[in-house]
């Protein structure tokens, strides 16, 4: 099992959130451009799936990972709400919702990083 660098993951998600926010801003800027198709980036979870993290047992008393699969729920791909007669697929309301999601994710990501930073500082003081 490889070492997981928490602060590296936090940094990567912050970069991903920055790219997504820029994409949302570009969509809003082109809301009146004829033929413009709204863009979005792939979810950050797909990047985490590529890391192939798995449970590792370091002691005989640890629980073993079972081969049974848990039930999964598939999320439907969200598309733009409507396409105007000019072929533009940007919905300001949808883009503002997406911007709010980015804002919430960034605040959560930052608060988690601060909590781990405080934990590291507290353990170093001892």
Q: What is the pLDDT of residues 67-76, one digit of tens each?
A: 444 434 343 4
Query: Whole-model pTM?
Result: 0.68
Of 80, 98, 87, 82, nearest in space to 32 by CA: 87
Q: pLDDT tier at 64 (50, 70, 90 boundaries)?
A: low
Where would I find the H helices in 30-91?
A: 44-49
Instruction: Write the Ramachandran bin of 115: left for phi over 0, alpha for psi from -120 to 50, otherwise beta.
Output: alpha
Q: What letters, b where the CB count within 10 A reaches 16 and e where it falls short, cover 4-31?
A: eeeeebbeebeebbeebbebbeebbebe
5-55 confidence digits (pLDDT tens): 788 888 889 999 999 999 999 999 999 899 898 898 888 888 677 766 565
CA dihedral 42, 45, 46, 49 (to 10 degrees): 170
Q: State residue 83's pLDDT score.
A: 64
Q: State residue 14's pLDDT score.
A: 92
DSSP letter (8 states) at residue 33: S
Dist. CA 9–CA 113, nearest whole Å: 10
Task: Find out whether 87 and 30 touch, Cβ atoms under 8 Å.
Answer: no
Q: State residue 77's pLDDT score.
A: 44
81-122 confidence digits (pLDDT tens): 666 667 888 899 999 999 999 999 999 999 999 998 898 899
Domain boundaries, the chain: 1-28+90-126
């Amino acid at each position: 099992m490889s070492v997981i660098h928490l602060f590296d993951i936090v940094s990567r998600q912050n970069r991903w959130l920055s790219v997504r926010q820029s994409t949302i801003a570009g969509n809003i800027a082109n809301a009146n451009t004829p033929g413009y198709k709204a863009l979005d980036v792939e979810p950050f979870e797909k990047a985490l799936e590529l890391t192939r993290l798995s449970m590792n047992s370091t002691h005989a008393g640890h629980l073993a990972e079972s081969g049974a699969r848990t039930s999964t729920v598939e999320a439907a791909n969200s598309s733009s709400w409507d396409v105007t007669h000019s072929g533009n697929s940007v919905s300001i309301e949808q883009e503002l919702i997406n911007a709010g999601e980015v804002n919430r994710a960034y605040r959560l990501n930052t608060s988690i990083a601060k909590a781990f930073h405080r934990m590291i500082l507290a353990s170093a003081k001892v």
